[in-house]
Each structure stands twice: as C-alpha cells, then as structure tokens.
Chain A
C-alpha cells in the first residue's frame, strides 16, 4: 500500500538537490529549563533525508540524538527550527487527534528497549490490529489478513501473533515493534538504538530485515545509534553529533573511513578491534 518508489534504495542516498527530500530539518534547536539552568540538548542542527534513503545519526550518550528523534515524532516541541516531512510542516507537535494520526502515517519510531515498548498485557496480533484499525478502519477478516501480512513482513509466525510479549524473545519483540510502526505505513521510520539491546547475532538478523523492508517498501530510515558498525551497515549518509551540534556529515563510508573532525576520529578509534589499546585513544 506504500507508494513504492522506482528508485533503487541503495542509490537514493543524499544526492542533495536531486529530488525534494522526504525529511528536511533546518536549524532544529531544543533547550530545557530557562535562565541559568538552561541546557541546550540540540543546538541548531540541519539535515535532509531523501525518499528511500537511510540516514544515520551517530554520537555518544547525551549528544542530543534521542531528543532529535523525539522532536521528529512530535513528543517534544522544538525551541527553534523547522521540520518538514514530505512537504508538510511538522515542527509543532500535533494537538488535534486527526493531525496526530496524520503525522503517525508519515513518521513512526521503534524504541531501544524491546521489553518496555510493548504493552505486556496485549497479544501481539491485537497490538498490530489496534494500529491497523486506527489508521485504516479495517475489521473482520480484512483486519486479520493485514495483521498476518505484517507478521510475515517481519518474520513472525501465526503462533507468535497469538502470544503475549513475555512469551517472545528480545529479537522477536523488536520485530513486533517494527511491525507495529510499519502498520501505519509511514514514509519515515525512526530507529532509536533499535538494535542496541539485542545480541550481536540477533542484531544482524534485524538489520537484514530492515534492509529488506527498505528495499521492498521504500521506507526511509533515520537510524540513531552509538554503534559505528551498525551505522555503516544500514545507512547511506550519516551525521555525527556532539553536544547537540552536527560536527560532521556526508556519505556514511566517507564519514567513517576518512573523518575530518577530530571527534569523529575519536569515536571511530574508541571501537575495540584487534591490537586495540584503550590508552592510545585520545
């Protein structure tokens, strides 16, 4: 049902100016508190994401990645700046329920913790069904069919759709969270440390799944992570954030292989590898 773009997702990288970006963020800023206690979480960042593209946001804890994500999905109101999604201004969080739903059909999120991001009393199938009904008003067999389809999309069997979250593993739960986000058929999916809580082997499965979904559905990703290996695998372009500012941006490979900014170099050198000595990281 998503308007699948004809463009090859992997080539639909940044390519600024080529097409209208699906997501354009301009001078986004968020401060908490005021006066002396004012803390700047996000300090005027700008970036663009093209349809079917995948943008990575890298940075250490407290660099403003998650605050950026929360502003994108409308859980925080930006202090300044603009958020344009598919041409419509989504800077301010929606007030009316109709606008909230419309925003939900444009942009969705998958959170880090697969254990608390699902209602523990709701069966997986009901969880997906609730969202499908909300957005598309399906019922009966059409609803069930769509729920099964979503389950298939993320590799969940019918048996797992009848299960409660506690009966599923972390990786399976994260598949449910992805399916729930995709149930709204959004144009943009934000993945906020979505694989950080998973084992490495499960991480790989989920990353492959996400890559497949992007190819099939043409969904654009904003992938937030502190893990450079993950960013390299799943994103085309990347921005590096520090203290709420963008210190570097460009093609993911360029950013990670030949970083211009000392902070990016520090981040990269902080990743343990063969022969790595913590003392040498400066």
Chain B
C-alpha cells in the first residue's frame, strides 16, 4: 500500500510540469519571433539613424548601401528606418483591437452565462448578428462615417472581433458553470460576480489568451489591408500595410523591395501569432 502510494505520488509530481514545457519547438520559435517583433516596435525608433520621412528623390529605388541598409523607396526614403518606425504603428493597432475585443467579449460572455435566461439568449442573438458582418466591411463603413485613420478602423475592428471572443468564452464558461464546484460556491452564498471573476475566469484564462493571440494575427492582417487601400494609417506615417500599398508602383517597375520587406514582416508576425495561438488553444483545450 505504501509502495503503491509512493508510486502514485511520484506520478502526480512528474505530471506537474512548468507551463513552458508544453510548448513545442515551433511554439517557442513563434514566441521568440513575437518577442523580437515587440522589442523592435518598442525600441525600433531608437535604432533609427536616418529620418524615416526624409525624401531624397535622387536616391529613389536605390539598392542597399551602408547609409541605407535595405535601400530606398520611390521617394528615396530609407526603407530600414521606415520598417523599424512602422513596426509600432503596425502592431499597436492590432494590439488595441485584441485588448478591446477580448475585454468586451469576455465581460459580455461571462455576464450572459451567469445571468442566463433571456439575457443570455439576447446576447447570443446579438453575437450572431454582428458575426454576419465581415470585420473588414464594418471597418470600411466606419471609416466612411468617422473619416479615415487608425482610430476609426481600430474601433470598428474591435466591435467586429468582440463576438468571436464572446462566443468562445461563452462556450467555455457554460461548461465551467455546469461543474459542481460552481454550485457548491453558490450554495455557500458567493456572489455571481465573485464566482465569475475569481473562479470561472481564471479557469478559462488560458483559452482566452490563446484566442487573443490568434486574433492578433487576424487583426494585423485586417489593419494592414485597410492601410493598404488607404483607409487606415495615413501618409507619411510609416506602416507596413501602407508600405505595401505605396510599394505597389515599385513592383510594376521591377523594384519590389518596399512591398516585399513590408509583406515579409507582416507574414512572419502573423504566422508566428497564428502558430503560437493555435498551439495555446490546443493546449488549453486539452487541459480543461
């Protein structure tokens, strides 16, 4: 009996691994890429030696040189410093979208699940209705009302991303709410808000953050697309999506560097966010 207990104890111990061990090599690489991109966005402006908006028409489309590491764009602006200073504008937008939609979606879903009844049905119907609108379409509509620029696009995308998060959180919270421990806490007389925030939320936080990571990638693409068609970040501010847009002309003149570098950064960041998000989602589903 004691030997058996010792074995069982040892098994329990080994099962209790630090969180990080659950990530695969790909997951770690994705996390590292995102960390590097985030560092670039934060400290990039400090590394910039050439003014990203300085026009030098004589150097248009010139290739890499010691002064211009990645060459120059159609107006002779330094590509390297534009990509670096564009990192923050390109990443802050999606980050705001993710934070706003996650907070809003989680709050809606948790209150719908706790209150239940007609309130839950109403929230569910609204979620379905907003779901029917493609986020990009809503964002374009918003820019036509509130004017072009990052702000309107971010607000519109936040609204259209909210149901996505809300639906996932609602499903997970419903499962959690049906567990006996929630009933036990209710019988004790704990408030619904305390149960939702102190017990249900921490138990589904992994799933929420995983889906936030995933939607970061999508939001980055959507905002880049808006900037690409000229409704998002406005010239001359550097932005990866806008750079693909302004680099279009260069592609036709066989000078694709600007569009190429900007797309490459978007692809790498989105791929990293998606693979990390996918892995986190799978992990959190395995756990619950």
Interface residues of A (CB under 8 A from B): 73-75, 97, 100-104, 107-109, 111-113, 116-122, 130-131, 134-135, 166-167, 169, 177, 180-181, 184
Contacts and interface: CB of A to CB of B under 8 A. Distances in A.
B181 A118 contact: yes
Contacts of B181: 116-119
Residue among B16, B188, B203 with most chain A CB within 10 A: B188
A122 B199 contact: yes
Contacts of A116: 179-181
A120 B205 CA distance: 13
A230 to B, nearest CB: 19
B236 interface: no
A119 B190 contact: no
Looking at chain B's contact residues, the main secondary structure is helix
Contact of B189 (A97, A111, A169): A97
Contacts of A107: 187
Given A97-B189, A167-B16, A184-B188, A111 B183 contact: yes
A121 B189 contact: no
Q: Which of the four size classes fits the interface of chain B?
A: 10 to 19
Given A100-B189, A109-B187, A119 B199 contact: yes
B17 interface: no
B184 A109 contact: yes
A113 B180 contact: yes
A134 B188 contact: yes
Nearest to A192: B180
A75 B183 contact: yes
B186 to A, nearest CB: 7
- Closest 6 CB pairs between A and B? A101-B189, A104-B189, A117-B180, A111-B180, A100-B189, A116-B179
B12 interface: yes
A104 B179 contact: no
B191 A97 contact: yes
Given A121-B203, A167-B16, A75 B187 contact: yes
Interface in B78-113: none
Contacts of B15: 166
Nearest to B187: A73
A181 B188 CA distance: 8
Contacts of A109: 183-184, 187
Contacts of B183: 75, 109, 111
Nearest to A111: B180
Contact of A74 (B12, B16, B185, B187): B187
Contacts of B191: 97
Contact of A180 (B16, B184, B202, B203): B184
Interface in B164-220: 179-181, 183-191, 199, 202-203
Given A116-B179, A122-B199, A177 B184 contact: yes
Contacts of A169: 8
A73 B8 CA distance: 36
Given A117-B184, A119-B203, A121-B203, A135 B179 contact: no
12 contacts: A73-B187, A75-B186, A102-B189, A104-B187, A109-B183, A112-B180, A117-B181, A121-B199, A134-B188, A167-B16, A169-B8, A184-B189
A184 B185 CA distance: 11
A82 to B, nearest CB: 20
A167 B184 contact: no
A74 B186 CA distance: 9
Contact of A166 (B12, B179, B188, B199): B12
Nearest to A180: B184
A113 B183 CA distance: 12
B225 to A, nearest CB: 39
B288 to A, nearest CB: 9
Contacts of A184: 188-189
A146 B188 CA distance: 17
Residue among B8, B187, B203 with most chain A CB within 10 A: B187
